[in-house]
Structure 1
Amino acid sequence: MKNIFLPILTVSIVFLFSCKESKSSLSKGEKTEENRNTYVIENVNIIPMTEDNKVIENSTVVIKGNKIHSINESTPKNSTIIDGKGKWLIPGLIDMHVHNLSNGSFSKGYPTRGATLSFNTQNLMTPYIASGVTTVFELSGRLGHFSQRDKIASGDIIGPRIAIAAVIDGEGNEIVARSPLEGRQSVRNAKGMGYRFIKVYTWLNEATYKAIIDEAEKQNMKVVGHIPSAFEGKQAEEFFVPHFGLIAHAEELSKQTDDYSYETAQNFARLAKENNTWLIPNLTNLVSIRKQAESLESIETLPSLKYAHPLMQDKWLTSNGYYGASDESIEYYQRQVDFHKLIVKAFKEADVPMLAGTDAGISGVVWGFSLHDELELLVDAGLTNEEALATATRLGAEWLEIDDKIGTIETGKFADLVLLNENPLENISNTTEISAVFVNGQWLNKNKINNMLAELEAWNEANKENFKWKNRKSL
C-alpha cells in the first residue's frame, strides 16, 4: 500500500550495534536449554500440519529443552505433566508480513545522541505470544530488529523467532538504489550487514528492480516485496521475473490492473506458477483500510487495541490517513477487497502456494491478534480450514527455509506449539481458543498469558498521556 508504512518506518530509525552473537550470549542460551524442565502433554490430539496431516489422537508429546523429544513413546521421570485431554495441539503460527516498532527519534539528532524514543521489547512481543504466533517475518528491516531478535534468542525476552528483510527502494527508505549498479551493491551491502532476505519496494525503476532480483539470486538471498509502480499499465509478464519469490500482498496485483475479473486473477496465478512466485494474500490490510476509510468505529471497538503501543493507538485514532476518504476511494477499496478474494481462488486453483501475513503494525492491524483475522478471511475466500492453517505453519517455514526446524509437529523440531481448547479443522476461528503456548520449549499456560497481557494493558493505559502523536517530535 503506497505510503502506509511511512509512520512505522519513521518510528523505526535505530542506532547501530553489532549483529553478531557473542560467545557469552550463546553460552547463556545453551544453559537455558539445559536447565529447562521436561514437559509431557498427555492425551492430546495432534494436528501435525505435515503434508498428509493425519491427526494423531490421544497422544503423548514429550518436550525436552527446546525440542520435541518424542511422540507416543515413554514418559521420562521427573517430568511436568500437562493434561491435554480434549485439546488440540498445532504448530506455532507464523505471520509472514509484520512491521515491528523499534527505537528511534522523530527529530534530527547529533552524532552521539542515541534514540530518544525507546520501546520495551517484551511489550512489543507479548501480543504475538498471547496469540500463538511464534515466528514472524519483519518486512521493514532495521538494525534494531536484529537487537530484538537476539534478545529473544538469548532468552532475555519471550517472543517469536524473527526473520528480517532489508528494504531496497528508489526513494524514501534507508537503502535507496536508483540504478542497476546501485541496486546490486545494495544487495551485497545488505548481505554484509547480516540480512538474509531482500524486499523490493514501490519506487524502484524497472532496470534496478530486475538487477536487485538477479543479484539477490547470485548472493543466495530470497526476494519478497512490492511490484514497483513503474510497471503500472504494462503487461504482467514484465514484473513476474524468476527469483521474485514472494509477493507481499494481493494489492500489489490489484494495483496493476483496472480489470478486476476472475480471468485477470487467473492470468496472475498462471504467471506466478510459471515463475515460482508465492503470494501473501494479506487480505486483512485492505479489509481494515476499507472500514477505516468510512469510520473509525472499527478501531475504537477493536478488542486488541489496548495491547498496541499508546503512540500507535493515538495515531490510528487522531491522525488516521484513511479516515474521511472520498466515496470514490471507498468504492475503490471495496473493489480491491472483492478482487483479492478472486485472486485467492485463482491461486488456489493454479496450486500456487500462499502464506498468511497481515501487515501487522499498519493502522488498525494489531500484532499477533491480526493473524487469526487473516485465517478467517482466507477461509472466507475459499481455502479449507486445513489449507488456511498450512499458510500459517508448514508453508511459511518452507519459504523461509527453516522447515527442518519449525512449521510441523515432528520429533526433533523446536517446541513452538499452541494448545487449543477446540479443533481448528472444524472451525478456523478455534485458533483463538488458546489454552497454552510453547515458545522455544518454554511453557506459558493461560494464566501466564493473561498476566502478561494484563501487565501490557496496564502499562499502555498508564502511559497514554506520554505518547501523543501530535507531540511525536518532542519524544
Structure 2
Amino acid sequence: MKHTIGIIIILIFLASCSNQHYTIIRDVNVFDGENVLEDVDFVFTQSGIERISKKKKSYKNSTIIDGKGKTILPPLINAHVHVRSSENLKEAQKVGIFGMLDMFSIDSRANGLRVYNDSTAYSKFYSSNVGATPPGGHGTQFGINIPTINDTISPSQFVKDRVAQNADYIKITNEFSMSRLDTIQLKELINEAHNHNKITVAHISDLQNGLEVINQNIDGLAHIWYRSNSISKERDLNLLRAKEVFVIPTLSVIIKVINHANEIGLKDDYLTLDELKNEVRKLKNKGICILAGTDSPNYNMNYTTQFFEELLLLSECGLTEIEVLKSATTNIYEKFHLEEFNRLEVNRKSSFLLVTGKPYLRIEDIMNEKRIWKNGIEIS
C-alpha cells in the first residue's frame, strides 16, 4: 500500500512538472545583486528561477523572449519615503520598485497600508510607524496628534508600543533645529529596539547630531548631514565604518532644501551642492554602506521616476554603476533584513525587472523601458 501511494505521489509530481510553463529570456545580461552575468539564458516559472546559464536548453510549454542588449535586475527598493495612500504603492510597483520603506506614519495609516502587502499590484510596504521624538521635536510640526517621549511615555515604552503596532523598524529623530531627545533617552530607545530585533534609523541634518546617535549604536542614518560646517573628518568616517552604520543620503530632497535656501537668502545655513556630494563621495571611499532613498513626497517628489533620478545623483558622487545598483537592491535587503527579497539565484523568487540597455555599465540606462515580473507573472 505504501509503495502504491509513493508511486502515485511521484506520478503527480511528474505530471505537474510536465504542465509547468517556462519563460526563457535568451542572451540577456543579469545583475544578480552582486555580480554581472552576460549573455545568459534566464529561465523561470511562477514557482521561481529555474536556470541561469550560458548553455542553451529547450523546455516544453515555454515562451521565449529575446534579451539581447537588455539587463535583468533584482527588485528595487526605495529606502526612504512617506507613503500617503495605496496608490503610491501601486505607482511604485509599476516601475519596478518592489518595496517602500516608510519613515514616519501614524500607526493607523501604516497598518492600513500593510493590508496591501500580499497583492501583486502593490509595492511591499514597510514602516517605522510613528518616529520617536520629544514634545516639540521633529515630526510634531505637522499638526497631527502623535505619541511623543515625555513624562508619561518612556523610551522603552515607546518602542514596545510601536512593536505592538507592527512597526518594522524604529525611527528616531535628532534634528538640529528642533527639540531633541537627550543622550540617555537615545541610548534607551536604541537598546530597547535592539532587544526586540528592530533596526534603528535616525533623522539628522547636522553631522554632530549624527555622531551622537552613532555613539549610541544607531544602525543607520535616514539622511546624510547637510547643515553648514558639517564637513566630516577622517575620525568621523572611521567611526561610521567601525560601527557599520549605513547612510541613506536622500540627495533628491536635500538638494531641493539647499536650492530653496539659496533662493531665500539662507545659503550660509547649509553645505554647498559640491560639498554635499563630496560628503557622499567620502562615505563611498571609506566603504560605508549607502542605500538609495528619495524622501518622497516632500517637495512634491513622485514615487516613480524620482527614485531613478536619485540613482543618477549617487553616480555623480563617485559610486560605480554596480555600487549604485547595490544601493537600490541588496544593500537594502541586507541592512533592513528584508527576507522577502534576495539575490537572483536558482530556486529564488522569479521577481525582477528587464531593462533595455546595460545599467551596470551606464547607469543612465536605468531610465529606459522596463518589463516587470513578480512571482513569475508579468505585471508591467
Cα distance in 2 between the residues matched to 1:284 and 1:233: 19
**Any conservation in 2 of the 1:41–1:81 contact (CA below 8 Å)?**
yes
Residue 51 of structure 2: aligned partner: 70
Residue 3 of structure 1: aligned partner: none
Please state whether the residue corresponding to 2:78 is helix, strand or coil.
strand
1:56 aligned to 2:37?
yes
Supply the AA of the counterpart residue of 1:191: V
Residue 298 of structure 1: aligned partner: none
1:205 aligned to 2:181?
yes
1:421 aligned to 2:356?
yes
Please state whether the residue corresponding to 1:176 is helix, strand or coil.
coil
**Any conservation in 1 of the 2:50–2:347 contact (CA below 8 Å)?**
yes
Cα distance in 2 between the residues matched to 1:233 and 1:57: 41
Please state whether the residue corresponding to 2:334 is helix, strand or coil.
helix
Cα distance in 2 between the residues matched to 1:125 and 1:75: 37
Give the drift of 1:369. 1.2
Give the drift of 1:379. 0.9
**Any conservation in 2 of the 1:99–1:360 contact (CA below 8 Å)?**
yes
Of 123, 133, 155, 1:183 maps to: 155
Cα distance in 2 between the residues matched to 1:144 and 1:237: 31
Assess, with a 3 A threshold, how the Cα gap between structure 1 residues 254 and 373 changes in structure 2: closer, same or farther: same
Give the drift of 1:219. 1.3
| 1:175-324 aligned within 5 A | 175-178=147-150, 182-201=154-173, 202=175, 203-206=179-182, 207-227=184-204, 237-250=211-224, 253-255=225-227, 258-261=228-231, 264-292=232-260
Supply the AA of the counterpart residue of 2:217: H
**Any conservation in 1 of the 2:100–2:126 contact (CA below 8 Å)?**
yes
Residue 437 of structure 1: aligned partner: 372
Assess, with a 3 A threshold, how the Cα gap between structure 1 residues 265 and 433 changes in structure 2: closer, same or farther: farther
Query: Between Structure 1 and Structure 2, which shows a larger proportion of helix residues?
Result: 1
Residue 287 of structure 2: aligned partner: 351
Give the drift of 1:238. 3.3
Give the drift of 1:129. 2.5
Give the drift of 1:170. 1.1
**Any conservation in 2 of the 1:405–1:413 contact (CA below 8 Å)?**
no
Cα distance in 2 between the residues matched to 1:405 and 1:236: 30
Please state whether the residue corresponding to 1:239 is helix, strand or coil.
helix
Cα distance in 2 between the residues matched to 1:154 and 1:233: 40
Cα distance in 1 between the residues matched to 2:91 and 2:48: 23
Residue 9 of structure 2: aligned partner: none
Structure 2: segments with no counterpart, 5+ residues: 1-18
Give the drift of 1:242. 4.4
**Any conservation in 2 of the 1:160–1:439 contact (CA below 8 Å)?**
no
| Percent of paired sites with the same residue | 23
Residue 123 of structure 2: aligned partner: 160
Cα distance in 1 between the residues matched to 2:48 and 2:111: 24
Supply the AA of the counterpart residue of 1:425: Y
Cα distance in 2 between the residues matched to 1:79 and 1:150: 34
Deviations along 1:383-430, one digit per CA (max 9) or x if unpaired, are 11111111001101101112x542421123222211111111221110
Residue 313 of structure 2: aligned partner: 377
Give the drift of 1:331. 5.1
Cα distance in 2 between the residues matched to 1:408 and 1:234: 36
1:89 aligned to 2:59?
no
Residue 101 of structure 1: aligned partner: 84
Of 74, 86, 89, 1:125 maps to: 89
Cα distance in 2 between the residues matched to 1:36 and 1:341: 50
Assess, with a 3 A threshold, how the Cα gap between structure 1 residues 430 and 205 changes in structure 2: closer, same or farther: same
Please state whether the residue corresponding to 1:169 is helix, strand or coil.
coil
Q: Name the TM-score, length of structure 1 as normaliser.
A: 0.67
Supply the AA of the counterpart residue of 1:131: V
Cα distance in 2 between the residues matched to 1:180 and 1:268: 35
Residue 301 of structure 1: aligned partner: none
Give the drift of 1:381. 0.9
Assess, with a 3 A threshold, how the Cα gap between structure 1 residues 37 and 233 changes in structure 2: closer, same or farther: closer
Give the drift of 1:345. 1.6
Cα distance in 2 between the residues matched to 1:196 and 1:214: 16
Moved more, 434-443 or 374-383: 434-443
Of 362, 365, 369, 2:301 maps to: 365
| 1:323-338 aligned within 5 A | 325-327=263-265, 329-330=266-267, 332-333=269-270, 335-338=271-274
Cα distance in 2 between the residues matched to 1:208 and 1:423: 47
Residue 388 of structure 1: aligned partner: 324
Supply the AA of the counterpart residue of 1:277: V
| 1:447-466 aligned within 5 A | 449=380
1:408 aligned to 2:343?
yes
Give the drift of 1:163. 1.8
Residue 140 of structure 1: aligned partner: 104
Give the drift of 1:143. 3.1
**Any conservation in 2 of the 1:245–1:277 contact (CA below 8 Å)?**
yes
